[in-house]
Structure 1
Amino acid sequence: MHIEIPSNLPTNSTLPERKYDVFLSFRGKDTRKNFTGHLYSALDQKGIFTFKDNHRLEKGKVILLELFKAIEESRFALVVFSENYAFSTWCLDELVKIWECMKVMGQIVLPVFYNVSPSDVRNQTGSFEKAFAEHEQNFREDVEKVQRWRVAMTKIANLSGWHLQNREESKIIKGIVDEISCKLGPTFLNTNGNLVGMESRMKQMDPLLGMGLNDVRMLGICGMGGIGKTTFARSVFDKISYQFDGSSFLANVREVSMTQDLVALQQQLISQILIERNINIWDVYGGSIEIRRRLRHKRVLVILDDVDQLEQLQALAGMHDWFGLGSRVIITTRDKHLLVSHGVDNVHMVDELSHEEALQLFCWKAFRKGHPTDGYLELSLQMVSYDAGLPLALEVLGSFLFGRSKAEWKDALDRLKKVPDRTIFDILKISYDGLQELEKKIFLDVACFFKGRDKDEIREILDSCDFHPDIGISVLIDKCIITLSNNSLCMHDLIQYMGREIVRQECPEKPGQRSRLWLSDDIQRLLTKNEGTEAVEGIILDFPAYKELKLNAKSFSRMNSLRLLKIKDASLCQSLQYLSDELRLLNWHGYPLRSLPSNFQHNKLFELNMCYSHIKQLWKGVEHLNQLTIINLSHSTYLTETPDFTGASNLKRLIFDGCTSLSFVHPSIGLLKKLILLNLKDCKQLRSLRAKIEWESLEVLILSGCSKLGKLPEDLGRAVSLKNLDLGGTAISQPPFSIVLLKNLEQLSFHGCKGEPRKFWSSLSSLFRLFSRANPESMGLRKVQFPLILASYHH
């Protein structure tokens, strides 16, 4: 029957640092080849460091002194009392030393009674009486020695322990091992730096583990590279592994799979759990069968670290029923979809460290303590801001800066802003290397140009480039490379640095031979010195460093792969002869010429954005522009007329706000069935909109400030989706009869109409009354909408 260890004995937290977990005291001739041998193997299998016999003793040392030292350096002492135990003076000397260590050092002592009665041991009767009779005869001149042996034996035999009583040895051994494992508890590798932030993560993980439940669970630990998944998994392993029949931590599954094969990992898994060296597996299929056959009745803990392929999971932890009840399988990966595909029960997403945690981890590496050295606080905060809570970066850079001067710190920080640390870069780039080609293109576009932008807006641009962004963005999110926040595409700063460094390395010395450019200096050099090549796919300059760029028009002549162009206030030394036919985005704020190049093929263009341009006319005749969705020429004061939109049937947004010279809008504008927004605000020369209306999708029509516009299209009511109609500041005095058909209209504004607002309002009211008499069934709708329209009326 198992006897509980007294709860008042010292626990692991109160013991001094020891070399051994357990000192095993036994009589070799009685138990070495059976009970004690099996007990030692079970302890060793659990990772409990056990001293047994003198096989660990250093040669040339006095054996008894070394034994005593080993006892002192052990947290536990296991004493196996057997029939001939007391006949050994070595065992009795060990016993006295163990008793002293228990009294003085708080050592935990556990007696095991192997085929002997505890009362015989306590009272020295039976075989123990015979043994002590011999000792008293042999040590007549040292009676005190024998007495010390007797006292120690009596005291230790009175402690709670285990009595076999002809019970099954394997169950007793399991009970002993479990009890010691529980008392030892988790053993962490390092309490100074590696485990910063681990306590909060453990609290989140505990409910997912469900250690009190007897089910089989597969759990995922997921996050970007360098976020600390492996360290976290190690901590979980150290904390709970002692509670299982066997455990295995398979590190670097991705890397091992590349250098070896899955058979080697299958062999390692079984070997670690069963403590067997000669595991013969011939192929992956046979290995899967072997894992299930050997482990399906065992309660095991399996950690599969850094998995990146579904076949790895299928080979190592294919199904829940491969493992016994109570088992836990934990998988770390950068790919959330991989976990979903395998059917894990729960996924824990690992977040970046908080600012306080990041500073603490960095300081442990940079100063070997939890806070900055005097004078280094500001530099430390700058470095932590750069690392943005990524444990990998904090550890690498902290270790690199240890012992260096402030000048070296400042220089290192300046260098990092230009070129990422190689170790960090290589680890983060693993995620990039695992992407398909189109996914790589999407990632580089977001990293270089679109971080923080609205997902739907960027999806349209990427779709126009034939990048299939719906699946591509989803994959990047699953692989923890990008994230979504309020529908914006986000990524960790170091991931962005990594992406931009990939582009820079395409040609470090010559920007014109890189695929993407975003820095003012690089773009200025490219466009003024005619260094562009066919390698350039994107030029986006959101924040120019120069008030005005004076471009060499020939700079674009060799950039025939250019997809994306966004520049601002750039003048040209001569006329522009060429723009790439591959352009999807053309955003040139302040475009200085009256027209686009005559040979420019617009057919792949998705967005044309040329605010404050000198454009007078976009194109002549009908151009087939099926990809074109947005035209924004606001404040282009030289524009006199819009082009024929017949070949641009997919336009959704047209913005001519502030085009003060615009006097003619081509009638084909009314045929744009997908148009959502039409903004003609302050087009002061516009007198009419002569168009047959087929605006099925139009929601916003802004005509405010068109001071010479006196009439709306008679069939405006066909714009059935119209919600916002702004007629303020126009010359319109009579609304068309069809306006009453705008059943979705939410806001109508005619503030400042030159055509007498009261007359307009009176006409509108008359139309509504007339319509309601002819269509009484619609009155309920009008009673709701009429106040909304009234609310927008301004005197």
Structure 2
Amino acid sequence: MALVRAADPQTSFVSSTSGYCRYHVFLSFRGQDTRKTFTDHLYTALVNAGFRTFRDYDEVERGEGIKPELQKAIKHSRTSVIVFSKDYASSRWCLDELVMILERKRKTSDAHVVLPVFYDVYPSHVKKQTGSLAKAFARHQKTQPLPKVKAWREALAEVADLAGMVLQNQAHGYESKFIKKIVKVIGDKLSRTPLSVSPNLVGMHSRVERINFWLQRRSTDVGILVIYGMSGIGKTTIAKTVYNSNFRIFEGSSFLENIKEVSQQPNGLVQIQTLLLSDILNGRKMKISNVSEGLIKIEDAISSKRVLLVLDDVDHTDQLDAVFQMKDQFYPGSKIIITTRRARLLKAHQVTEVYAVETLTQEESLELFSWHTFGQDHPIEDYIEYSEKLVDHCGGLPLALKVLGSSLLGESVCLWKSALEKLEVIPNGEIINKLRVSYDSLQDDHDQKLFLHIACFFIGMDKDYIAKILDGCDFYTIVGIQNLIDRCLVIIDRWDKVRMHDLICGMGREIVRLESKEPWKRSRVWHHKDSFKILKEKNGTETIEGLVLDMHMYPTINSNEKVLETNAFSRMQELKLLHLSHVKLRGCYAKFCSGLRWLCWLEFPLDSIPVDFPLGSIIVLEMQYSGLRQVFKGTKPTKLYQRISEAR
């Protein structure tokens, strides 16, 4: 996928709020004043520059309202250029057009650009309705409803406050120079178009409010804000939304998407630099031979204007170093937003603000799911129960809600039920592939194996307790867990427990499931059905490093069938992690898993640990709720971290 960049003004474009825009420019003017002179020259210059421009050719009075085609033209135009002349305000149709243009601007959150052009009047005349405008309004007061006149006055005051162009100030009265400047301004504004964003932005207001406030706060400081969170949680959508709302208040702007992916392409960092410069310089192309040269040119561009820069999906400091090396290089008041899955991408002293994106609430999740499934903000009655179950499965992750919602669009309740049953065993592949990016980005197989162990066996356990076990399995657990936290793969809650989003956990277990079609050939066995079958059929292999079995998962099996044999473990020479609950074994223990580091055997059935039980490698032994009356018969020296409680 390519980087998002400023659009060519001569290509069609899509506004996130208004859909397809048919015209680049809508010209509003008083026909009797400028139709055959200034406005005609301006129209010709805009068309020659490649801008699709609308102007009303109808010389006849329009009747009592704006013609439908004019309303559509305003609605489907990217910009409006309003030519204020001495008699502009004498036309009630021009004033109605002005009101409609400003309504369009307000409704689209500044996506519609309005450029006032003061041809032979000054902004102060328009704002206060003095001079020729005063005479026009004296007539309107007598013939038009007062609310309408008030709306016209307010519209004129509002548009006069916008950044506009004044003939006498900017071209000393030379119309040809003035028109060239107008065309250049329009080109600059059209080269900075809003980004396409999904129309159903559920829960977005509360998530962008704080960032908008930060961006709009006037300051000479150069600010860096990091938006971080797990894959699919909405970081890019949030960044696009705040970009669309704020980029026009900066002199230059650039939104660079998919930086991680592009940086991995041949000469990828130079591609990033080239597109950034093109955006900041309003489409001007600059040739860059290498990263060092690009840095010099970028510094020159960003040091002269206040810019908004969004760097999306950054996962390594090298990608940032190719864009800027110190924030002091930016012009005062510039802002940089970085989206990333890495919480510690930048040092604390480099960052002004950090925004950790949270999952959607249950109510927000159901609404987003419903938009993608039913085209409305709530489920259809017959689908309410399964919708709620699927929303629970998604755990507030927007990506999952969109993917599953879209996949079930128009399907029967029967298929929904089957899909939900499948998801309980096999996660959705599209979601897993997106989430797996964070796993694949881990720096080595040490952290990947640590993640898989936690996903399969240790979720919800105390961090130090996990470290004691896995340090004994030759892991560097504390630093490894920190690396997983940095990639938003695990979190540590306020009780110091290791937690993981359900879909992240599902992704880890799916990675293990795909190791082999046969469960006994996988490295970890966490599914009780697979574990029971492996032990029952005694086909375990040396591939298995960890196994979990809870016999309470099989209430229908009679007591004789529940008793397994110790020699079912004899081939599992690499087994280090074993969690058994309510399991009964018969046979001798001389060859029972001699390499175990962690044995958690809840409701251990014997009254003492057999003398031939191989405990030499055990780091942690748990036997809560067991039938133990004494630990060993006779003396059994061992260095164990014991968590053994009396049987209930």
Q: Which TM-score band applies after superposition, normalised by the shorter structure?
A: 0.7 to 0.9
The corresponding residue for 1:250 is 256
Measured against aligned partners, the alpha-carbon deviations of 1:220-252 in whole angstroms (never above 9, x if no partner) come to 000001100011101011110111111111111
1:226 maps to a residue whose letter is G
The corresponding residue for 1:643 is 636
Quick one: which of 498, 504, 515 aligns to 2:507? 498
2:604 maps to a residue whose letter is G
Distance, in Å, in 2 between the alignment partners of 1:553 and 1:97 is: 99
Unaligned runs of 5+ in 1: 1-11, 55-64, 87-91, 124-155, 614-633, 659-681, 683-795
1:563 maps to a residue whose letter is K
Say whether the 8 Å CA contact 1:309–1:338 is kept in structure 2: yes
Distance, in Å, in 1 between the alignment partners of 2:623 and 2:255 is: 59
Matched, 1:523 2:531: yes
The corresponding residue for 1:717 is none
Tell me: CA distance 1:594–1:398, structure 2 relative to 1, closer, same or farther (3 Å).
same
Measured against aligned partners, the alpha-carbon deviations of 1:125-177 in whole angstroms (never above 9, x if no partner) come to xxxxxxxxxxxxxxxxxxxxxxxxxxxxxxx9xx9575332446999969997
Say whether the 8 Å CA contact 1:591–1:612 is kept in structure 2: no
Distance, in Å, in 1 between the alignment partners of 2:456 and 2:368 is: 30
Matched, 1:272 2:279: yes
The corresponding residue for 1:239 is 245
Say whether the 8 Å CA contact 2:624–2:643 is kept in structure 1: no
1:490 maps to a residue whose letter is R
**Range that drifts further, 582-591 or 283-292:** 582-591
The corresponding residue for 2:368 is 361
Unaligned runs of 5+ in 2: 1-14, 57-67, 102-113, 126-130, 133-155
The corresponding residue for 1:607 is 620
Structure 1 residues 476-491: aligned runs within 5 Å? 476-485=484-493, 486-491=495-500
Say whether the 8 Å CA contact 1:249–1:305 is kept in structure 2: yes
The corresponding residue for 1:51 is 53
Quick one: which of 290, 313, 320 aligns to 2:320? 313
The corresponding residue for 2:540 is 532
Shift of residue 460, structure 1, vs aligned partner = 1.0
Shift of residue 611, structure 1, vs aligned partner = 5.7
Say whether the 8 Å CA contact 2:620–2:641 is kept in structure 1: no
The corresponding residue for 1:590 is 604
Distance, in Å, in 2 between the alignment partners of 1:513 and 1:413 is: 27
Distance, in Å, in 1 between the alignment partners of 2:546 and 2:459 is: 15
Tell me: CA distance 1:174–1:466, structure 2 relative to 1, closer, same or farther (3 Å).
farther
Distance, in Å, in 1 between the alignment partners of 2:98 and 2:305 is: 37
**Structure 2 counterpart SS, 1:559:** coil
1:204 maps to a residue whose letter is R
Structure 1 residues 145-544: aligned runs within 5 Å? 162-167=165-170, 189=196, 192-193=199-200, 195-209=201-215, 211-260=217-266, 261-340=268-347, 343-435=350-442, 436-485=444-493, 486-508=495-517, 510-542=518-550, 544=552
Measured against aligned partners, the alpha-carbon deviations of 1:308-346 in whole angstroms (never above 9, x if no partner) come to 111001112322123211111100000011133782221
Distance, in Å, in 1 between the alignment partners of 2:45 and 2:347 is: 45
**Range that drifts further, 70-79 or 387-396:** 70-79
Tell me: CA distance 1:449–1:163, structure 2 relative to 1, closer, same or farther (3 Å).
same
Distance, in Å, in 1 between the alignment partners of 2:492 and 2:398 is: 22
**Structure 2 counterpart SS, 1:279:** coil
Say whether the 8 Å CA contact 2:274–2:286 is kept in structure 1: yes
1:407 maps to a residue whose letter is C
Distance, in Å, in 2 between the alignment partners of 1:317 and 1:521 is: 54
Matched, 1:575 2:585: no
Quick one: which of 542, 552, 571 aligns to 1:558? 571
Shift of residue 395, structure 1, vs aligned partner = 0.4
Shift of residue 382, structure 1, vs aligned partner = 0.7
Cα RMSD (Å): 4.4
Tell me: CA distance 1:324–1:656, structure 2 relative to 1, closer, same or farther (3 Å).
closer
1:590 maps to a residue whose letter is F
Shift of residue 479, structure 1, vs aligned partner = 1.2
Tell me: CA distance 1:273–1:361, structure 2 relative to 1, closer, same or farther (3 Å).
same
Shift of residue 117, structure 1, vs aligned partner = 8.9
Q: How many positions carry a matched residue from both structures?
A: 558
**Range that drifts further, 582-591 or 303-312:** 582-591
Measured against aligned partners, the alpha-carbon deviations of 1:694-719 in whole angstroms (never above 9, x if no partner) come to xxxxxxxxxxxxxxxxxxxxxxxxxx
Say whether the 8 Å CA contact 1:80–1:111 is kept in structure 2: yes
Distance, in Å, in 1 between the alignment partners of 2:183 and 2:609 is: 88
Percent of residue pairs bearing the same amino acid type: 40
Matched, 1:112 2:106: no
Distance, in Å, in 1 between the alignment partners of 2:300 and 2:26 is: 35
**Range that drifts further, 110-119 or 468-477:** 110-119
Shift of residue 546, structure 1, vs aligned partner = 3.3
Measured against aligned partners, the alpha-carbon deviations of 1:49-99 in whole angstroms (never above 9, x if no partner) come to 872789xxxxxxxxxx999975685486425589xxx9xxxxx9xx99996
Tell me: CA distance 1:515–1:312, structure 2 relative to 1, closer, same or farther (3 Å).
same
